């Protein structure tokens, strides 16, 4: 009996660990920021675009964004942290998350919109800026 209970617990933990990123826009955004902070920019964008048509339909824009992120990180110094500064449910199917990479010299802000029409959350829009004066206008 203890063995079966233990196996069920282990299986439950494994299933939870394998849960799709699509379960939460906040989790996707947080993981994205963490991966970018670790300079895993390509992997971060691949994870974020999973299930989205953005990467296949806007390949040039995606590559430009990746290049811009790396450039800003080099320009503003080491990224020492990250945080999500805004969580906003726009509707039952649209959710917005704004996250900040905290570089030594200036923050890098990512504004992300997620969509869930019938199933998993997926990214539908992302923008990046380094204009500190725009942060106050995010709400």
Q: How does pLDDT run across 10-38, given as a tens digit for each residue?
A: 333 333 333 344 469 999 999 999 999 99
Asked whether the whole model's pTM tops 0.85, one would answer: no
How many domains are contained in the chain?
1
| More confident call, 8 vs 111 | 111
Residue 128 lies in a domain: yes
Residue 4 lies in a domain: no
pLDDT in tens, 72-120: 999 999 999 999 999 999 999 999 999 999 999 999 999 999 999 888 8
Q: Quick check: is 16 in a domain?
A: no
Phi, psi of 93 (to 5 degrees): -115, -5
- Domain hosting 95: range is 21-135
Per DSSP, helices labelled H in the chain are 2-17, 25-37, 41-48, 54-57, 59-76, 132-135
The per-residue pLDDT for 108 is 95
Cα gap 79→77, rounded to integer Å: 6
- Return the CATH number at 62: 3.10.450.50
Q: Has residue 108 been placed in a domain?
A: yes
């Amino acid at each position: 009996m203890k063995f079966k209970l233990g196996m069920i617990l282990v299986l439950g933990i494994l299933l939870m660990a394998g849960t799709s990123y699509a379960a939460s826009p906040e989790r996707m955004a947080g993981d994205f920021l963490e991966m970018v902070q670790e300079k895993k920019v390509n992997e971060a964008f691949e994870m974020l675009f999973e299930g989205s048509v953005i990467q296949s339909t806007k390949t040039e824009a995606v590559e430009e964004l990746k290049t811009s992120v790396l450039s800003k990180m080099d320009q503003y110094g080491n990224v020492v942290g990250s945080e999500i500064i805004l969580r906003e449910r726009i509707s039952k199917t649209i959710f917005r998350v704004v996250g900040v990479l905290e570089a030594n010299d200036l923050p890098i802000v990512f504004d992300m919109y997620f969509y869930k029409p019938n199933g998993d959350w997926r990214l539908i829009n992302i923008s990046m800026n380094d204009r500190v004066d725009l942060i106050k206008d995010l709400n």
